[in-house]
Structure 1
Amino acid sequence: MAKRKATTYDRIIGVDLGNGFVKIRSIYRNGEEYKLTLPSGYAYLRDVGDSKNDEVLELDTYKIDGNSYVWGKDITRLKDKVKPVFGYEGRYKTESYKLMAKIVMARIVRDLEIEAKEKILLVTGVPSIETDTECETDISNAFYAENSGFHDVEVNGEEHTFRIAHIHVTAQALATVIGRYLNVDGTVFDEDYESMKVAVIDIGAGTTDLDVVHDLRRQKVYHSLSEGFKDIYEAINSEIKRHYPSHTATDYDLLTIIEKVQKEMSKMPNEPTGKKTKKEEIRYEYKPSKKNEPVDFTDVFNNSVRELASNIQQAIVQKWKDQTDLDEILLVGGSAEIFEDYLGEIVFGITIPKNNGDSNVEGYYRMGVAISESDE
């Protein structure tokens, strides 16, 4: 009889602290799943009143290292007061990234009611170009902070002490495949992945990665394109500034509009109504305020998507000249569906996982559960 596994960590947490969003995966004490996605950025508490006066916002207050900050669902409504955590070389060493890591962990500890005595295993990841580099150490240092994983914070006036016992940093592409290989309890779900050769196209906010995972091992041959959905946001904002020069829309605002339109389009049949289909008649519009006229950014959005898709196509053709030995091709990232038709022209048999936008963080969590198990 196989030995029963003993858990070496009390809490397993998967965190994807990305350019645009923070994604978190874990479970509550009663075993129910915990998932959270919020904009990646924080603000100083002192700026909330200046920005929104007495309006009630869905924000939590965090006191860290003597300073007070806010973060939550409505953080982007503070507009230019938000301190975003954008991707650039050396970002994991910046004070803003380190602070965001502390805020994220404080939120998790509060939500999951993690006690000071509990040992936390945190699993996160990096894109292809940062795998097996000092970036992995930088991320670990950001979450461990100065006290070797011990933290004292306040959330909405309540004190929380927690300890990060270990941080495991993996490749994002490997995590995506592991998320399909393992069950949520860390046991094997589909053993075929142990011998499969899987290609992963991950369209992120700042980068697009082309990776291959063979026999559950990420291959050294990869390609990282320094373009992503953020380039599309920037193009849209250029169009908005053409109408309102001093105004900038947040990535979160634009994503909300895009997702709403995409959802509306998915419900419509692709039938012509004259020269256009019903889908083509739907417009993407951004309205700065109730008193201002909306900005139609449909053409800019479509052209930007085509441009990025073309660059990804070119990279695929150059890097994956022979696709006959690929058992599966996964297209992931929150914008995967938008690019499916374009990439399907040169890649046969693309699979978009149901959780494509959360595939990395789901993989982190399941990998963590597997890591936490050891022989008695």
Structure 2
Amino acid sequence: MSNKRIVIGLDHGNGWVKAKTDSNMVVLPSYIARKDSLGEGLTGGKLELNEFESSTHKGEVYVWGKDVVKAERPLSTYGSQNRYQQKYYKLLNQFALAKVLGNYTGDVVEALVITGIPSQEKGTELEKDLESTLRGSHLVKVDGKEIIIKVTKVVIVPQPVGTLMSQYLDNDGFVKEESYEEDAVAVIDVGTGTTDLDHIKELRRQTDDFDSIKIGMFDVYKKISDFVNRQNPSANATPQKVEEQFENGSYTVSKRSKIDITGIKEDVLETVAMDIKNSIIQRWRTWDRFDEIIITGGGATPLGQKLKELIGDATPIKEAQIANAEGFYKYGKFIEGASK
């Protein structure tokens, strides 16, 4: 058994899973696929995939990795009713813990997991559901090698708090930016499924001044996939496939067929950003009370730039996609240090 408790920052978003330890960082899509759904010969070296099997579902072998989006029928963990109790969500949590602890296969690892939930779910039964999926022992096979993870403690914070911790603390959990101990900070966390708002003043979350807006990058991808399918009904575009090609100027149906998405992409980003801003205004009628406005989350790069145009002095975080996982990890190191 590992002779110390490993701190894991886990951010299981609707689009991407991010997990961090002191020696590893995992950033992979929030989809898994059944091994037998990939087809003959497609699980070899050409695809970046690992095989996973959980003791909770013996005999069911799944693949997960960078190329899981290329599976014909990927299994999503996207937000839905009772999300934290859904089979694939719980399995992917286990796989993410096993993946980020890849150096410990064949071992028994004790872990402290820090993770986040949408702001409006803090203090609800959903928080208890999430904790129950993580706490306890998990036996997972990764490419045939077993690892046993004993999660002895779970700390759950509102999602945007992760980014603030990433700015406030260093990698060892010590304070690196004291100004946050006095400042009032607005955090706008733009994710795949939601945009979470939190007001944190002097490192205290203002529990009467937060919101979760049911708009995110998924809405952008969905509108573009609808556009592509109107142009070519045979394209069978999905939000997941659009996300994979989002940085391109065109959507590739095949080598013989491409659809220009430059214009629609700009229009959709503008529309969705304005929808988010209007929702923000309903929560925060004025921004003068904030010392800093931070834009973070997986959608912060494309949508964040649009929001910055609408909120001129907002600050998009560098490496925004992994900022919450980084912050969760640093907060975990802080907790471990404080307990000694």
Tell me whether the two structures share a fold, i.e. TM-score over 0.5.
yes
1:97 deviation in Å? Answer: 1.0
Q: 1:58 aligns with which of 48, 51, 65?
A: 48
CA distance, structure 2, for counterparts of residue 192 and residue 301 of structure 1: 38
Same amino acid, percent of matched pairs: 32
Tell me which residue corresponds to 1:183: 170
Within 5 A, what are the aligned runs for 1:91-110?
A: 91-109=83-101
1:42 deviation in Å? Answer: 0.8
Within 5 A, what are the aligned runs for 1:99-178?
A: 99-109=91-101, 111-113=102-104, 116-144=107-135, 149-178=136-165
CA distance, structure 1, for counterparts of residue 301 and residue 11 of structure 2: 20
1:250 deviation in Å? Answer: 5.1
Cα deviations by residue, 1:96-121 (Å, 9 ceiling, x for unpaired): 21111122222223x23266443200
8 A contact 2:104–2:147 mirrored in 1: no
Whether 1:68 and 2:61 are equivalent positions in the alignment is: yes
CA distance, structure 1, for counterparts of residue 10 and residue 116 of structure 2: 8
1:251 deviation in Å? Answer: 4.4
8 A contact 1:204–1:229 mirrored in 2: yes
Q: When the two structures are aligned, how many residues end up with a matched partner?
A: 334
Whether 1:223 and 2:215 are equivalent positions in the alignment is: no
8 A contact 1:193–1:215 mirrored in 2: yes
CA distance, structure 1, for counterparts of residue 53 and residue 230 of structure 2: 40
Cα deviations by residue, 1:348-370 (Å, 9 ceiling, x for unpaired): 41111212121111110001111
Q: 2:228 aligns with which of 240, 244, 247?
A: 240
Q: Secondary structure at the match of 1:118?
A: strand
Q: Secondary structure at the match of 2:254?
A: coil
Q: Secondary structure at the match of 1:74?
A: helix
Whether 1:285 and 2:272 are equivalent positions in the alignment is: no
Using the size of structure 2 for normalisation, the TM-score is 0.91
Q: Judging changes above 3 Å, is the alpha-carbon distance between structure 1 residues 46 and 257 closer, same or farther for their aligned structure 2 residues?
A: closer
Cα deviations by residue, 1:309-335 (Å, 9 ceiling, x for unpaired): 111221233322232221100011233
Using the size of structure 1 for normalisation, the TM-score is 0.83
Whether 1:14 and 2:14 are equivalent positions in the alignment is: no
Tell me which residue corresponds to 1:35: 25
Q: Which 4+ stretches in 1 moved above 6 angstroms? A: none
Cα deviations by residue, 1:40-79 (Å, 9 ceiling, x for unpaired): 1111111122584877321111122311111111111113
CA distance, structure 2, for counterparts of residue 106 and residue 345 of structure 1: 40
Within 5 A, what are the aligned runs for 1:281-360?
A: 284-290=249-255, 292-360=256-324
1:13 deviation in Å? Answer: 0.6
Q: Secondary structure at the match of 2:151?
A: strand
Bigger CA drift: 364-373 or 113-122? 113-122
Cα deviations by residue, 1:216-255 (Å, 9 ceiling, x for unpaired): 1211211221111101111111122124425434545433
CA distance, structure 2, for counterparts of residue 55 and residue 101 of structure 1: 25
CA distance, structure 1, for counterparts of residue 323 and residue 17 of structure 2: 13
CA distance, structure 1, for counterparts of residue 304 and residue 193 of structure 2: 19
Q: 1:45 aligns with which of 10, 35, 42?
A: 35
Q: Which runs of 5+ in 1 are unaligned?
A: 1-7, 29-33, 262-283
Cα deviations by residue, 1:167-224 (Å, 9 ceiling, x for unpaired): 1111111121111111110000011111110001111111112221111121121122
CA distance, structure 2, for counterparts of residue 82 and residue 341 of structure 1: 30
